[in-house]
Structure 1
Amino acid sequence: MKLRCTICGREYDKPVQRCECGEPVEFELFHGEPYIGKTVWERFYDFWPVEPDPELSLGEGDTPLVKSKLGKELGIRLYLKNETVNPTWSFKDRGTFLAISHAVREGYKAVGTVSTGNMAASVAAYAARAGLKAKILVSEKASKEKLKAVSVYGADVIRVKGDYGRLYFESLKLGERLGVYFMNSDNPFRVEGYKGISFEIAEEITPDYVLIPTSSGGLFRGVAKGFTELFASGLIDRIPTLVAVQAEGCSPICRAFEEGKERIERFESPKTIAHAIENPHPPSGNAVLKLLREMGGLCVTVSDEEIMKAQAELAREGLFVQPASATGIAALRKLRESRRIEEGAKVVSILSGAGLKTLGQLDIRDVRECPLEKLDECLKT
């Protein structure tokens, strides 16, 4: 099981979280053939760096690829990879499952993560499933709404006062010293788990473009690695163009990409409704930037207004997603208007998480009052 730095190329023969140069690491490319199996973990058995433990599974993965009505309006064939139906309602469960499988195999008694949202809930849930202690580190600004979805699993939730940006790296150091396995946003096993999204897409269609909401960069790296491994194994004949999507109010990767820089810089004073991708200095930012250039990808930013419009459009199709999940549809409109995505293209937009955790951002709309005696009249209008 070799790990290689995504930037400097240094190799490691044992599991490490990050390279000595400070950049993220990833497992070498896996090759193989699909098996006949019920789950994505069984069908692509050769492609995982650790054997997934079915006893620890909560039924993650194998999410639906839904054909969207918006495709006709936009002049393309549009599909939505609905990750909101994972056990804790986001794509994070795929990576958590694989990381938990590793942690249990290595004998850890406690796991942890740095998160205030989807990843916190995912780690708390899977730790409960595995009988492990969960240490969830959140910022002092974390809302009660988000913390309820974490504490319900019995996790040890700790509000950390101070520089939240440093917390990612401090947690890895402390975890190593205290025997807590921190599976943060771009943990190498977590990234491997996200490859399953690419595998499942490729089982159904060969897309021309895949739109990926991008924050820390772990999801983008996982999807990119998944398609790369399929291509290297001869299972697909081309790799789709990958589109990293960020909010205008916090877009360090897109800004560096557009300015032709090799490294990202901290995005000062971030502000966006898409909190799930509001990361001013993403730990895999440089790795994503490198992938975008090597793979001929695109990086697109969208405004909060465009995000909210896209969220409403998806709701009218019966899909209630968090604002970050709607960024792909918002970006798609811009790409079609600028003709960077051609008419008739096959496009997949990844819906990364459900809207149930962001209810506080919504207003109640279109609710009428009606006396029972006049209900027939109300129903007619």
Structure 2
Amino acid sequence: MLKCTSCGREYSMRKPHQRCECGEPLEFELMKGLPGIGRRVWERFSEFFPFELEPELSLGEGDTPLVKSKLSGELGVRLYLKNETLNPTWSFKDRGTYVGIHRALQLGFKRIGTVSTGNMAASVAAYGARAGLKTYLLVSSTIAEEKLKALAPYGAKVIKVRGDYGELYRRSLELGRERGIYFINSDDPFRVEGYKSISFEIVEELTPDYVIIPTSSGGLFRGIVKGFRELAESGLIDALPRFVVVQAEGCSPICRAFESGAERIERFENPRTMAHAIENPHPPSGNAVLRLLRELDGLCVSVKDEEILEAQRELGREGLFVQPASATVVAALRKLVESGVVEEGSRVLGILTGSGLKVLPREKAFGEEVDIKDLLRRADLW
């Protein structure tokens, strides 16, 4: 059964319901279970998913490494980073797409689509190709060239759209109903089901005090929270961690509403940030995230682009090349530590959402060119 995250209205699984008539997102009921034995997270936690998942549709998503950060000592905390850049299309989106594809096939759809700034487009294109489904990708007209090129191998129909990204989400659902296309968008109820697998993997290795999540539409945040709640309901963990939303200061509608005490988010006018993957001026799950933050005593932190860029460099110096949206985790934690909100010695878990290959740095090329004969003569090189 699907249930509205706001008014509580229930919807049948027999039809492709994605949002409530009140305008808020739907969510699948809380699952309970016990972990089993299996090589993949989908096998070990099979009791927590709404239907049986087919290995043939998988591209190897999930079971990503948890890396202890070298910044732990400097920050005075135990910082662990969930490296989602190692998924098949280099972002966390693959987890949600894998489950979302099952839902589309369950409902009998032959065509799927998504609205994306790049990461989700690559994911849906890849999994659509895997499942043999005709795939449509509605992307922003300002999409980075490297992200656009990464879509070409999958054979999907790519449509660059001018206009507001938040509005495009809503238009796509109308288009889907009219054209018979299942849009596996950012906070589709079954995409959220896929994201909760991150929580299951985390608790297999540690129980964090804080979980920091880069947040755009809100689907990833909702999925991770739901995963931890289901673990608590099943008696597998004693308490929930404190959840932290992080947004770029240049596009932070959720944080702005949270800090002002507002009950609902408002459109963020004239967004501008280098962290394009979380640049959503009117996130479709914004109100749901806001409710969860208030209910669970969560936090919302916004960070400047300069702080994001420095954090990206810091992660690079320990061997992790992430997109700017991922680097917001470190920038936010630094602010929380400096303000005394996060206590010394805390176990902090940050989600690295996507690879730096998605948005290559706009810095000048580096490296000095020398003749091979000069390698020994040029002492200044060494």
**TM value normalised by structure 2:** 0.97
Q: What is aligned with 1:204?
A: 205
Q: How does 1:168-207 map to 2 (within 5 A)?
A: 168-207=169-208
The change in CA–CA distance for 1:13 and 1:89 in structure 2 (over 3 A counts) is: same
The change in CA–CA distance for 1:378 and 1:249 in structure 2 (over 3 A counts) is: farther
* Aligned alpha-carbon RMSD (Å): 1.2
Deviation, structure 1 residue 312: 0.3
Amino acid at match of 2:372: L
Q: Deviations over 1:303-350 (max 9, x none)?
A: 000000000000011000000000000000000000100000000110
Deviation, structure 1 residue 360: 5.0
Amino acid at match of 1:25: L
1:90 aligns with 2:91: yes
Deviation, structure 1 residue 377: 4.2
Q: What is aligned with 1:368?
A: 368
Whole-Å separation in 2 of the counterparts to 1:112 and 1:17: 14
Amino acid at match of 1:31: K
Q: What is aligned with 2:282?
A: 281
1:49 aligns with 2:46: no
Q: What is aligned with 1:100?
A: 101
8 Å CA contact retained: 1:263, 1:289: yes
Fraction of identical pairs, as percent: 69
Deviating more after overlay: 103-112 vs 273-282: 103-112
Q: How does 1:349-360 map to 2 (within 5 A)?
A: 349-359=350-360
8 Å CA contact retained: 2:166, 2:283: no
Deviation, structure 1 residue 104: 1.9
**What secondary structure sits across from 2:175 in the alignment?**
helix
Q: What is aligned with 1:5?
A: 4
Amino acid at match of 1:334: K
Whole-Å separation in 2 of the counterparts to 1:364 and 1:345: 39
8 Å CA contact retained: 1:116, 1:147: no
Whole-Å separation in 2 of the counterparts to 1:276 and 1:231: 30
Whole-Å separation in 2 of the counterparts to 1:378 and 1:9: 72
Q: What is aligned with 1:271?
A: 272
1:141 aligns with 2:142: yes
Whole-Å separation in 2 of the counterparts to 1:378 and 1:190: 56
1:320 aligns with 2:321: yes
Whole-Å separation in 1 of the counterparts to 2:376 and 2:127: 49
Whole-Å separation in 1 of the counterparts to 2:107 and 2:378: 62
Give structure 1 stretches of 5+ with no counterpart.
none
Q: Deviations over 1:75-97 (max 9, x none)?
A: 11110000000000000000000
Whole-Å separation in 1 of the counterparts to 2:159 and 2:344: 49
Q: How does 1:221-232 map to 2 (within 5 A)?
A: 221-232=222-233
**What secondary structure sits across from 1:349 in the alignment?**
strand
Whole-Å separation in 2 of the counterparts to 1:194 and 1:181: 19
Amino acid at match of 1:137: L
Give structure 2 stretches of 5+ with no counterpart.
none
8 Å CA contact retained: 2:208, 2:347: yes
